[in-house]
Amino acid sequence: MMLATGLKAWVWQRLSAVYLAIFVVWFSVHLWMSPPADFQHWRQWMAQPQVASAFALFFISLMIHAWVGIRDIVMDYIHPLIWRALVLATVIFSLLGAGAWSFLVLAGIEY
């Protein structure tokens, strides 16, 4: 998976965007139609395999989408190579960390 090349990054940005859009609509409609009554309901709903999987795919898509977007912004505005490399390295490690953290949260839900 080469997210650093132009056309492939562009395709990944669009693919992740489509899933993010579907997920956001689905989750918003769920929160509106049947908001979690209390903690137990909330945790049980989140622990369902389909729901947890939808969230896992959401976080993967989010990290890919954020990476391509922030990378585009950095390449537009930060020109000295050393600064660009430093900022991009910080961004990718932050996103990998956030992705790992989100998976720990999802994996840690108990019935």
Buried b (16+ CB within 10 A) or exposed e, 19-33: bbeebeeeeeeeeee
Residue among 42, 53, 93, 96 that touches another protein (CB under 8 A): 42
Residue among 51, 54, 60, 98 that touches another protein (CB under 8 A): 98
Question: From the centroid of its chain, how far is CA 100?
Answer: 11
Give me the least distance between CB of 85 and another protein, in Å please: 19
Query: Is 93 a binder of another protein (CB under 8 A)?
Result: no
Query: Is 44 a binder of another protein (CB under 8 A)?
Result: no
Contact region with another protein (CB under 8 A), list: 1-9, 38-46, 82-90: 38-46
Q: Which of residues 52-81 bind another protein (CB under 8 A)?
A: 62, 66, 69-70, 73
- 52, 109 Cβ separation under 8 angstroms: yes
Angular region, 110: left φ>0, alpha ψ -120 to 50, beta rest: beta
- 67, 92 Cβ separation under 8 angstroms: yes
In 3D space, the residue among 74, 51, 64 whose CA is nearest the CA of residue 18 turns out to be 64
Footprint on this chain of another protein (rule: CB under 8 A): 14, 17-18, 21, 24, 32, 38-40, 42-43, 46, 62, 66, 69-70, 73, 95, 98, 101-102, 105, 108-109
